[in-house]
Amino acid sequence: MSKAILCVDDEKIIITSLVNQLRERFGESYIYEMAMSGEEALEIIDELVESSVSVILVISDWLMQGMKGDELLIEVHRRYPGTLNIMLTGQADWSAIQNAKDNADLKAYVAKPWVKDHLMDKISMLLEGNGL
């Protein structure tokens, strides 16, 4: 089964940069998908799962139009509890981070601007720790 990593942010330059860093680190081991809203992210996840692609990791911003990142990660966790998740944001309030920890099994919070090696090492540890 193919495995995918989904990056969610309402700024295209951010998700493009993140996907490029993931591809540089992990090569073609994963499918890399991008969404610019929580609603779009859920649609993409459902489409991937219907196509027998396992979404193993969601990396989401918090402050987005419509659905906030903690709400997205909670919904992803409700539908697909095996999916790992990371909040990557510069503007989350601590109650949103705690909400994601309590209700979405948030694996990590990383502040923007992120340090590439720190983020990629954290993702590597999460994926290896889960046998992915």
pLDDT 10s digits, 14-48:
999 999 999 999 999 999 999 999 999 999 999 99
Distance CA 11, CA 44 (A): 17
Average pLDDT of the chain, as a whole number: 95
* Whole-number pLDDT of residue 1: 80
**Lookup: tokens for 7:** 């990056």
Distance CA 123, CA 132 (A): 11
**pTM of the entire structure?**
0.95
Question: Is the predicted pLDDT of residue 57 greater than 90, yes or no?
Answer: yes
Question: Is the predicted pLDDT of residue 76 greater than 80, yes or no?
Answer: yes
Tens digits of residue pLDDT in 9-19: 999 999 999 99
Question: Is the predicted pLDDT of residue 122 greater than 90, yes or no?
Answer: yes
Contact in structure between 68 and 61 (CB atoms under 8 Å): no
Q: What is the mean pLDDT of residues 51-67?
A: 95
Question: Is the predicted pLDDT of residue 65 greater than 70, yes or no?
Answer: yes
Question: Is the predicted pLDDT of residue 90 greater than 90, yes or no?
Answer: no
Within 10 A of 100 (CB to CB), how many other CB atoms are there? 27
Measuring CA to CA, how many Å separate 54 from each of 18, 46, 84, 92? 20, 10, 11, 27
* Whole-number pLDDT of residue 131: 66
Contact in structure between 10 and 65 (CB atoms under 8 Å): yes
